[in-house]
Amino acid sequence: MNKTIAIIKGDGIGPEIVTEAMGVLDAVAAKFGHTFTYRDAPMGGNAIDAFGVPLPDSSLETCLSSDSVLLGAVGGPKWDSQPSANRPERGLLKLRAAMGLYTNVRPARMFSDLSAACPLRPDIAARGIDFVVVRELIGGVYFGEHSTEEVDGEQKATDIMAYSEHEIRRVAHVAFQMARKRRKRVTSIDKANVLDTSRLWRKTVTEVAREYPDVELLHMYVDNAAMQIVRDPSQFDVIVTENLFGDILSDEASQITGSIGMIPSSSMGEGTRGLYEPIHGSAPDIAGQNKANPIGTILAAAMMLRFSFDMAAEADAIEAAVDAALKAGFRCGDILQTGGTLVGCREMGEAIRSRI
């Protein structure tokens, strides 16, 4: 297959980690007979320096006309004094909106060789952690009306949380389709005992579930879910939830698997084009020092192959190579444990590439 990939290296450690992910993609292309064509799309602080804006039109066009987008991270102290409308993160928000990305998917998977980095009790960690959080990304309270007014001599603030059936339905379909390729269980998380939006959420997800009789659907209140994720994460396969709950639960889910440097994320809309990135930021404190862990970005590239290009075997090959490199003892600083071999970003990339 021939695929074009827009590459946003970004700022800080972005160029280092994306370079390693591209190296791994090249190894996959060579092994499986594909051609990946990379198209550079400057975004973030570096784009502000070069073009005066965080997302130049030319970069947006490159992303919209490519088969998928791979991103490192944007931002850093150099651009903190920019007016809020011209900060590096604005580029990312504009890109998400322009690509119509309404679903965010974040896996919470613990590699068995990193179980010592898991903050949960060993007997809980031993049961394994392997689930995904499917989060609605462009609705709910983050996108509702916000206002602050003076009422009876004091300030009163209001944030509106609204959901329409179609917004719930489309993200529910993503969750059920994903569950079909996994262990066939969806846990829908809401606060239906209190919120109208949650009651509509529960009713709509239940309706969508009828189209997937082979997938089990469970409902859980968000406060219970926050507790269950640390009590017994092995019970989850696919979690689907609205924007605010998903923001909080997906961070909790990442934390229990170990380091922030290990976790990928994908954002999808209609069609197969997605935005794939690690969950961490540009880590300016270690930028340019060959210290960054590239695994989150490499696993993001694997997600791109699986979800956007329907290349399951190729994605499996990347995930197996990451597993093998960890088993061989290679560790970047953020995941170093006794007995591991400390390596830099380039060496970790090479260790994974050579195991494809």
Q: What does the binding site for ligand NAD look like in residue numbers (CB under 6 A)?
A: 13, 73-76, 89, 92, 260-261, 277, 280-286, 292-293, 296, 332, 334
Q: How far is the CB of 17 from ligand NAD (least distance, A)?
A: 6
Point out the residue whose Cβ comes nearest to ligand NAD: 281
Q: How far is the CB of 250 from ligand NAD (least distance, A)?
A: 13
Contact of 233 with 256, CB cutoff 8 Å: yes
What 207-216 contacts at long range (C-beta under 8 Å, 24+ apart), as own/partner pairs, is: 207/169, 208/169, 208/172, 208/173, 208/176, 209/172, 209/176, 211/173, 211/176, 212/176, 212/177, 212/179, 212/180, 214/180, 214/184, 215/176, 215/179, 215/180, 215/184, 215/185, 215/186, 216/184, 216/185, 216/186
Per annotation, catalytic residue among 26, 38, 94, 142: 142
Please, which residue, 94 or 184, has the CB nearer to ligand NAD?
Answer: 94
| Angle, in degrees to the nearest 10, between helices 243-255 and 222-231 | 10
Is residue 142 flagged as an active site residue? yes
Per annotation, catalytic residue among 3, 67, 190, 191: 191
Is residue 38 flagged as an active site residue? no
Please, which residue, 56 or 261, has the CB nearer to ligand NAD?
Answer: 261
Is residue 191 flagged as an active site residue? yes
Element (H or E) spanning 69, and its range?
strand 68-73
Is residue 130 flagged as an active site residue? no
Please, which residue, 42 or 296, has the CB nearer to ligand NAD?
Answer: 296
Please, which residue, 76 or 140, has the CB nearer to ligand NAD?
Answer: 76
Contact of 254 with 263, CB cutoff 8 Å: yes
Q: Which residues of 144-153 are buried (b: 16+ CB within 10 A; e: fewer)?
A: eeeeeeeeee
Per annotation, catalytic residue among 94, 184, 221, 247: 247
Contact of 217 with 180, CB cutoff 8 Å: no
Is residue 196 flagged as an active site residue? no
Q: How far is the CB of 89 from ligand NAD (least distance, A)?
A: 6
Per annotation, catalytic residue among 80, 251, 310, 316: 251
Q: How far is the CB of 282 from ligand NAD (least distance, A)?
A: 4
Q: How far is the CB of 254 from ligand NAD (least distance, A)?
A: 11
Per annotation, catalytic residue among 49, 159, 196, 223: 223
Q: Fill in the amino acid letter for 169.
A: R
Catalytic positions, written as ranges: 142, 191, 223, 247, 251
